[in-house]
Structure 1
């Protein structure tokens, strides 16, 4: 039976938001007897169908969908990629067992990575006894039947299996469980650097007053320690990982410290072991999970996509986006009796932060001049954030799927949805032809997109010229030192030094 299952590939549909991923997935599912596994970190939550852009009930009837709306946003605000993986893998295996085609589609690309590559670190200590001091690395998940009930509050636990292990001789068997069970390894470290830390002034201002006590509780023993000091501590126990994380990226610093604190082994050693299991130290993560995978990347001209996304925001407004946000915001404050934390759960979805000031207005003021102004500002911020998100998705796909270093590269086939009037010719037909060839054991007539690349080189640099700004990769450092901003600051510094030298000479 297992051999028969593996004749079928896992199909993945990638693309920026607004390119038509769900449309293609449904069409492929209908044509090739498939079922769709949604890989979207916001669509897992119940409700909020407009802001998360869920497929409609009618679309779900066209092809069976999984992992949409199964998490209660009020009782589970810390669902992790590990939770998602442990829900999705049994579904994929069940779809295989029934002779159907699993089709993974969604905009959360690291969720998709967690299914295609064995790279997540599960920091749970298991049995007591001689083998208790072991750290699980995800390499398999048992074949079980699907259970799509919501996870219990606080998230689920990893499914049992027979994982590869790393001996951790310095860890006690009574180590306390960590607050957050998702340690995404290299994927969690790839997006470090200053550019990714600031999601806009709006988000920063909103987060200043948002659920600080809950955030402190999640940080446990680290809550009273400054981020810079935490980074210094990480440098002492795991300098390799510390080089990859910006000193302001508190969440990832704490994750790395938790790994070391609980298991007595640096996260960098765990990743090194993963890389070795993938065939070499240049691999980005662990080995490929499935022997046959067909990835489609729906591409679109950026100018066209930007206009399409702006129009989609307008449509969302017409369909009742603000009422949806108002209703949820009100219910959350009543049930949770606190402010919204934009670093948790559904509130990470684009839309909440952008309309924060408008949502806080007393209802009678929503239709005043001030209210309309804040509403219009929210619309523009939402459009901007959506366009920026699409660009980040494209960058992620290019860097982590197309240019993935090491032996674990999976072929990616490009289709183009720029002209929606030519969808059948430019998207659906090429995808069907490629998938048909793969199902027949043949090479597709078109070649996959050119793949391969070099792993990000992590070099820790501090720019004294620019007020101590920190950069964690060589690429970022080179880009900064060549930027106009840095050159202006450098020129200003040199002028000041020359002026000081002249003054000192005159005084002498």
Structure 2
């Protein structure tokens, strides 16, 4: 049996993380800490798919429903990390096992690894998943702090002060560009230089060492086809559970914040998509036009949830698996395929039982073909531009997919034909 275990149950939306977290806690005596940033807010229990009292089966759940959606103050990953580390100590003092459950992988990463975040004096930063509010005083010398400045202008400003960081960011990744500029403004040191200082050695791609020696990470996923069908079905279930009523009540209480801010609670998938419908006069919501807007909201929720699941999957490969490819101690890591819903709990518990019994588990990241290659460092993030197709992208894997795609091949063929015509002319 492990002396001081901590278990992370993370992964794609709709894979059964909450149920597995409860099962682990029941068998081994644990308490759950939520790492789903949108569940931090009070309300929207259906829209954010919060675990119900019945589903929790008496297991304590922390870091849920503690933020006021109308509070304009920031809550960021640094605050989450400190609060969670304090919770972990308290849970362990009760001789319980902390179980981190959720899909906000960036927040989970802040707990899993030490020295993984660059500290700045500002309590609000544009890496925040919860809120990215900014004050006018921060915009004096760095163009990144103005909403009037284009994404390209922000990126060019970053390239001027930190070319290496700029070359690893797409110009449209506004939040990361702003954060890199903020780091430079507050510290006087380029972010790329600080990242290099954080790296303990050359064997691991990312800075930061494992915080807890006895750490298990279960990453839950499913085949894209199964997951998309499951996610679409979940939206239909939310409607049956009373999504419309919940949205209307939440909107009536927090209307001002919803319309004044594009950050904070407005980042919740399951709320922002329905604002056009909610903004209608109440009688209009039940008209054919209202029904059409509500249906569009549902379709957008399904689309955005599928897109979010893809981003979660990319994080697993680019931010977690590559840490296992080095000499220093890493977390035990296993991917759990949840495509068969009847086996989620049994397969998940088999992983936990094996690990709790003293067996270290590591995902095999060896690759047999280029499609499965785990890109690292600059290869994973380098900004590349195809002038022929007039498109920019980050990562050599995305570049390879682009040049192998129909659009690029069509552009190449068209360019050759135009060149041949010019030569003949």
- Once residues 298 and 246 of structure 1 are traced to their aligned partners in structure 2, the CA distance between those partners, rounded to angstroms, is 28
The answer on whether the counterparts of 1:401 and 1:409 sit within 8 Å (CA) in structure 2 is no
Counterpart of 1:37 in structure 2 is 33
- Once residues 249 and 293 of structure 1 are traced to their aligned partners in structure 2, the CA distance between those partners, rounded to angstroms, is 31
Q: Per the alignment, do residues 218 and 308 of structure 1 end up closer, same or farther by CA in structure 2, a change over 3 Å counting?
A: farther
* More relative contact order, 1 or 2 (CA 8 Å, 6+ apart): 2
Counterpart of 2:287 in structure 1 is 368
The answer on whether the counterparts of 1:219 and 1:254 sit within 8 Å (CA) in structure 2 is no
Cα deviation digits, residues 60-117 of structure 1 (max 9, x gap): 4611111001111111463211111111011112222332211111011111110011
Q: Secondary structure at the match of 2:207?
A: coil
Q: Secondary structure at the match of 1:394?
A: helix
1:316 aligns with 2:234: no
Q: Per the alignment, do residues 496 and 77 of structure 1 end up closer, same or farther by CA in structure 2, a change over 3 Å counting?
A: farther
- Once residues 432 and 268 of structure 1 are traced to their aligned partners in structure 2, the CA distance between those partners, rounded to angstroms, is 37
The answer on whether the counterparts of 1:282 and 1:455 sit within 8 Å (CA) in structure 2 is no
Q: Identify the match of residue 385 of structure 2 among 462, 466, 471.
A: 462
Cα deviation digits, residues 281-314 of structure 1 (max 9, x gap): 6421211111110122334343333222222111
- Once residues 105 and 15 of structure 1 are traced to their aligned partners in structure 2, the CA distance between those partners, rounded to angstroms, is 9
Counterpart of 1:426 in structure 2 is 347
1:28 aligns with 2:20: no
1:49 is displaced (CA, Å) by: 0.5
1:443 aligns with 2:364: no
The answer on whether the counterparts of 1:77 and 1:346 sit within 8 Å (CA) in structure 2 is no
The answer on whether the counterparts of 1:401 and 1:410 sit within 8 Å (CA) in structure 2 is no
Larger displacement relative to structure 2 (311-320 or 349-358): 349-358
Q: Per the alignment, do residues 326 and 264 of structure 1 end up closer, same or farther by CA in structure 2, a change over 3 Å counting?
A: same
Counterpart of 1:260 in structure 2 is 184
Cα deviation digits, residues 9-31 of structure 1 (max 9, x gap): 11111232221111111111121
1:339 aligns with 2:259: yes
When the two chains are superposed, the root-mean-square deviation of aligned CA atoms in Å is 2.7
1:472 is displaced (CA, Å) by: 3.2
- Once residues 10 and 110 of structure 2 are traced to their aligned partners in structure 1, the CA distance between those partners, rounded to angstroms, is 14
1:215 is displaced (CA, Å) by: 6.4
Counterpart of 1:172 in structure 2 is none
- Once residues 321 and 383 of structure 2 are traced to their aligned partners in structure 1, the CA distance between those partners, rounded to angstroms, is 26
Counterpart of 2:108 in structure 1 is 112
1:252 is displaced (CA, Å) by: 1.8
Q: Per the alignment, do residues 461 and 20 of structure 1 end up closer, same or farther by CA in structure 2, a change over 3 Å counting?
A: closer
The answer on whether the counterparts of 1:414 and 1:448 sit within 8 Å (CA) in structure 2 is no
The answer on whether the counterparts of 2:205 and 2:322 sit within 8 Å (CA) in structure 1 is no
Q: Which residues in structure 2 correspond to 1:54-65 (within 5 Å)?
A: 54-60=50-56, 62-65=58-61
1:490 aligns with 2:421: no
- Once residues 87 and 51 of structure 2 are traced to their aligned partners in structure 1, the CA distance between those partners, rounded to angstroms, is 19
Cα deviation digits, residues 341-398 of structure 1 (max 9, x gap): 34x1121111223223222222111121111122222222222222332233223223
1:394 aligns with 2:329: no
- Once residues 11 and 28 of structure 2 are traced to their aligned partners in structure 1, the CA distance between those partners, rounded to angstroms, is 21
1:340 is displaced (CA, Å) by: 5.0
Counterpart of 1:358 in structure 2 is 277
Counterpart of 1:476 in structure 2 is 398
Q: Which residues in structure 2 correspond to 1:165-180 (within 5 Å)?
A: 178=122, 180=124
Q: Which residues in structure 2 correspond to 1:68-467 (within 5 Å)?
A: 68-76=64-72, 78-118=74-114, 119-124=116-121, 178=122, 180-181=124-125, 217=136, 220-221=139-140, 222=143, 223=146, 225-275=149-199, 277=200, 279-280=201-202, 282-334=204-256, 336=257, 339=259, 341-342=261-262, 344-404=263-323, 405-406=325-326, 407=328, 409-423=330-344, 425-428=346-349, 430-437=350-357, 442-443=358-359, 447-451=361-365, 453-456=374-377, 457=379, 458-467=381-390
Counterpart of 2:42 in structure 1 is 46
The answer on whether the counterparts of 1:230 and 1:253 sit within 8 Å (CA) in structure 2 is yes
The answer on whether the counterparts of 1:81 and 1:182 sit within 8 Å (CA) in structure 2 is no
* Count of aligned positions: 406
Larger displacement relative to structure 2 (19-28 or 347-356): 347-356
- Once residues 330 and 89 of structure 2 are traced to their aligned partners in structure 1, the CA distance between those partners, rounded to angstroms, is 22
- Once residues 57 and 388 of structure 1 are traced to their aligned partners in structure 2, the CA distance between those partners, rounded to angstroms, is 29
- Once residues 449 and 24 of structure 1 are traced to their aligned partners in structure 2, the CA distance between those partners, rounded to angstroms, is 19
The answer on whether the counterparts of 1:123 and 1:183 sit within 8 Å (CA) in structure 2 is no
The answer on whether the counterparts of 2:375 and 2:397 sit within 8 Å (CA) in structure 1 is no
Larger displacement relative to structure 2 (93-102 or 219-228): 219-228
Q: Secondary structure at the match of 1:122?
A: coil
1:244 is displaced (CA, Å) by: 0.8
Counterpart of 1:169 in structure 2 is none
- Once residues 226 and 155 of structure 2 are traced to their aligned partners in structure 1, the CA distance between those partners, rounded to angstroms, is 42
TM-score after normalising by structure 2: 0.86
The answer on whether the counterparts of 2:33 and 2:62 sit within 8 Å (CA) in structure 1 is yes
1:245 is displaced (CA, Å) by: 1.2
1:18 aligns with 2:14: yes
Cα deviation digits, residues 307-336 of structure 1 (max 9, x gap): 2222211110011112222222232224x4
